[in-house]
Amino acid sequence: MQIYLPIAEMSANIMTLIGMGSVVGFMSGMFGVGGGFLMTPLLIFIGIPPAVAVASEANQIVASSVSGGLAHWRRRAVDIRMGLILMSGGVAGSYAGVQLFKLLRALGQVDLLISSSYVIFLSVIGALMLRESLHAIRETRKGRPIRVRRPGQHSWILRLPLRMRFRQSRLYISIIPPLLIGFLVGMLSAIMGVGGGFIMVPAMIYLLRMPTNVVIGTSLFQIIFVTSAVTVLHAVENQTVDIVLAVLLMIGGVIGAQFGAMAGQRLRGEELRALLALIVLGVACKLMLDLVFEPAELFSIQRLEVGP
Amino acid sequence: MKTAVSFLATIALTALCASGGMAQKAHANALVADLSKDQIRVASNFTGEKILLFGAIEGTGPSGASDVVVVVRGPSENFTLRRKKRVAGIWVNAEARTLGPLPGYYAVASTRALADIAPVSERAKHQIGPEYLRFSLLNQTPEAAAPHAGPRDIALYHDSFVRIKSGQNLYSVDPNGVSIIADRLFRAELTLPSGLPFGTYITEFFLFEKGRVVGYQTGELSVAITGLEQWLRVTAHDMPLLYGLFGVFIAGLMGWGVATLFRRV
């Protein structure tokens, strides 16, 4: 069954979109990640204009982070003060990201911006994850307990001025690092159509040294607001949010996430991470090859007068 | 169906003959034509639509000497075309030209190959065939300012434009698209694809004899988006802030609904 996507200006198969939403939702439930970094490239692969894919995917992540975040909220596993600081940086970053996106869109370079951001971030994150999980698998096979690396307490960046007490995280640190992390993630969110959890969570654990029990909840808390900001800003500046597309992805996503969470409980953590790392590297590889090999069509068309 | 068509055609012909003296073009009475529908509504289930273009001709030459050419043109717009080049090992958009105005949709159907029906001069005069569409090079975007663009360069961009549009089924040339029945009636079926631009389309019917236009009629066809899709599109363009907030609201509602639902289960 086909459905017309009013902003993407194309018709797509409903079952394909819901199916993609469920597969990515399944993986995000299984691995505990947002899934935006898999969904946006998939949407581009099926022919959705990259600018529409990014903005609509940000809209979908609002839904998945609200449903995920509520569970943590009820368990009080959210550091609201830290979340608000991260969010302030995030909203500023998403504004900057959307402006950059708009500028490069007018110059015809936004597809390159999206692809190259993906190639860089996915290959770095994928490689780090793969290394870490393979190491963990080897250690467990040898029967050694895994040591969690927590080098030196309070690095100099956390001792910068403007310190604030975060009771929930039991921290007294400068607000400059969380603002900067928030800003970076907000920018990535606007450019790549992701929640940014894959950067935010390691940054909170290793840089801000937040206790792991509040990390996921706080990350989701700020993702809700940052992806909402990204959605509104893309709608205002670029008119690229396709609500019909986003809603179909949401439907698939929520169904998939529930089954994914069940499947994830049966698999071992480090093997899951190794699998996810391979998927991430695969997507990065595909995007890179698309940039390196001569495309079949060297020309592209952009309509100048867009009206309803 | 055929009876209905010929009946309509006869009525139309009679009416035309009656007002023949008032016809502005001397040859206008040689051809009458109409469409099966003059409005295409694009709703959520739109995957393309077939339209029938039909009519009757009054050939002056011997049997089989008349040719009919049907042209359908979408609303004109300006397009920026970008050309990828290899820069530092990767393929990036390196060159751009803005062409326009060009129709967003263009289809031509005829009884024979266009080259056999009319000489180049005649086809160029009436813009029959995508290669004869008239447009100019515009400098609307700073990167598209190209003072050094020569005619070969422009032709390359125009050819690429037609090639991409043809790939999307938005440009088409069908040399066997019009069939003539009993030297009197003609019909052409056109399949409009799902990516249609919205606006007013122009339909043109040409009757050719010995390479010259002896009959001509023009009409309109409107393509409009409707229903929820129309509301979303209009809101997205006219009230983008409201549209964005609406998207966030729906997402929030859906996320909350799912969380609440699965908490109870």
Q: How many CB atoms neighbour CB B9 within 10 A?
A: 20
Kind and range of the H or E element at B4? Answer: helix B2-18
CA distance linking residue B127 with residue A37, whole number of Å:
47
| Optimal mutation site among B106, B254, B256, interface A, most CBs of chain A within 10 A | B254
The answer to whether B194 contacts A11, with C-beta atoms less than 8 Å apart, is: yes
Nearest CB to A254; choose among B246, B258, B263: B258
CA distance linking residue B110 with residue B121, whole number of Å:
17
CA distance linking residue A144 with residue A135, whole number of Å:
11
Rounded to the nearest angstrom, the minimum Cα separation between A2 and chain B is 6
The answer to whether B243 contacts A298, with C-beta atoms less than 8 Å apart, is: no
The predicted-structure confidence for B26-48, as pLDDT tens digits, reads as follows 444 588 899 998 899 988 888 88
SS (H, E, C) A224-274: HHHHHHHHHHHHHHCCCCCHHHHHHHHHHHHHHHHHHHHHHCCCCHHHHHH
Q: How confident is the model at residue B21 (pLDDT cuts 50, 70, 90)?
A: very low
Rounded to the nearest angstrom, the minimum Cα separation between A4 and chain B is 5
End-to-end CA distance of chain A: 25
The predicted-structure confidence for A55-95, as pLDDT tens digits, reads as follows 999 999 999 989 888 888 888 888 999 999 999 999 999 99
Looking from the CA of A33 toward its CB, the CA atoms found within 13 Å total: 25
Residues of B in contact with A258 (CB under 8 A): 262
Residues of B in contact with A307 (CB under 8 A): 198, 237
- Residue B176 is classified by DSSP as T
The predicted-structure confidence for B210-235, as pLDDT tens digits, reads as follows 889 999 999 999 999 888 889 999 99
Q: What's the mean pLDDT in A137-155?
A: 66
> Is the previous residue joined to B75 through a cis bond, with omega within 30 degrees of 0?
no
Nearest CB to B237; choose among A295, A301, A308: A308
Pick the residue from chain B with its C-alpha nearest to A108: B93
Question: How much of chain B, in percent, has pLDDT values that exceed 90?
Answer: 52
User: ∠B142-B87-A39 over CA atoms, to 5°?
Assistant: 85
Nearest CB to B79; choose among A246, A254, A303: A303
Please, what is the average pLDDT of chain B?
84
The answer to whether A243 contacts B104, with C-beta atoms less than 8 Å apart, is: no
Nearest CB to B255; choose among A62, A258, A305: A62
The answer to whether B240 contacts A236, with C-beta atoms less than 8 Å apart, is: yes
**pLDDT over threshold 60, residue B15:** no
Nearest CB to B90; choose among A228, A246, A292: A292
Task: Give the burial class of A226: count Cβ atoms within 10 A of its Cβ; 0-12 exposed, 13-18 middle, 19 or more buried.
Answer: buried
Pick the range with the lowest mean pLDDT from A192-201, B111-120, B196-205: A192-201
Rounded to the nearest angstrom, the minimum Cα separation between B45 and chain A is 5
Which of these, B204, B224, B190, lies nearest to B39 by C-alpha position? B224
Between A265 and B184, residue with greater pLDDT: B184
The predicted-structure confidence for B168-196, as pLDDT tens digits, reads as follows 999 999 999 999 988 889 999 999 998 88
Amino acid in position B107: A
Q: Which pLDDT value is given to residue A306? A: 44
**pLDDT over threshold 90, residue A293:** yes
The answer to whether A235 contacts B243, with C-beta atoms less than 8 Å apart, is: yes
> Helix A176-192 to helix A36-45 angle, to the nearest 10 degrees?
20
**pLDDT over threshold 80, residue B97:** yes
Residues of B in contact with A298 (CB under 8 A): 83-85, 91, 160
CA distance linking residue A267 with residue A260, whole number of Å:
11
The predicted-structure confidence for A209-255, as pLDDT tens digits, reads as follows 888 888 888 999 999 999 999 999 999 999 999 999 999 999 998 88
Between A139 and B102, residue with greater pLDDT: B102
The answer to whether B84 contacts A298, with C-beta atoms less than 8 Å apart, is: yes
Residues of A in contact with B87 (CB under 8 A): none
Q: Which of helix, strand or coil describes residue B54?
A: strand
Rounded to the nearest angstrom, the minimum Cα separation between B143 and chain A is 7
Rounded to the nearest angstrom, the minimum Cα separation between A79 and chain B is 20
**Residues in contact with A147: Cβ distance below 8 Å, sequence separation at least 6, in sequence order:** none
Q: Which of helix, strand or coil describes residue B28?
A: helix
A38 near A287, Cβ under 8 Å?
no
Q: How confident is the model at residue A205 (pLDDT cuts 50, 70, 90)?
A: confident
Nearest CB to A301; choose among B161, B225, B263: B161
CA distance linking residue A253 with residue A60, whole number of Å:
8
Question: How much of chain A, in percent, has pLDDT values that exceed 90?
Answer: 45
CA distance linking residue A195 with residue A202, whole number of Å:
14
Q: Which pLDDT value is given to residue B149? A: 62
Give the phi and the psi of residue A37 in degrees, each rounded to 5: -70, -10
Q: Which pLDDT value is given to residue B2? A: 46
CA distance linking residue B58 with residue B212, whole number of Å:
15
Residues of B in contact with A107 (CB under 8 A): 143
Give chain A as a DSSP string: -EEEETTTTEEEEHHHHHHHHHHHHHHHHHHTS--HHHHHHHHHHTT--HHHHHHHHHHHHHHHHHHHHHHHHHTT---HHHHHHHHHHHHHHHHHHHHHHHHHHHTT-HHHHHHHHHHHHHHHHHHHHHHHHHHHHHHHHHTPPPPPP--SSS-GGGGSSSEEEETTTTEEEESHHHHHHHHHHHHHHHHH----HHHHHHIIIIIS---HHHHHHHHHHHHHHHHHHHHHHHHHHT----HHHHHHHHHHHHHHHHHHHHHHTTS-HHHHHHHHHHHHHHHHHHHHHHHHSPPS--EEEEES----
Pick the residue from chain B with its C-alpha nearest to A259: B262
What are the structural domains, with CATH classification, of chain B?
A: 2-225 (2.60.40.1930), 227-265 (no CATH)
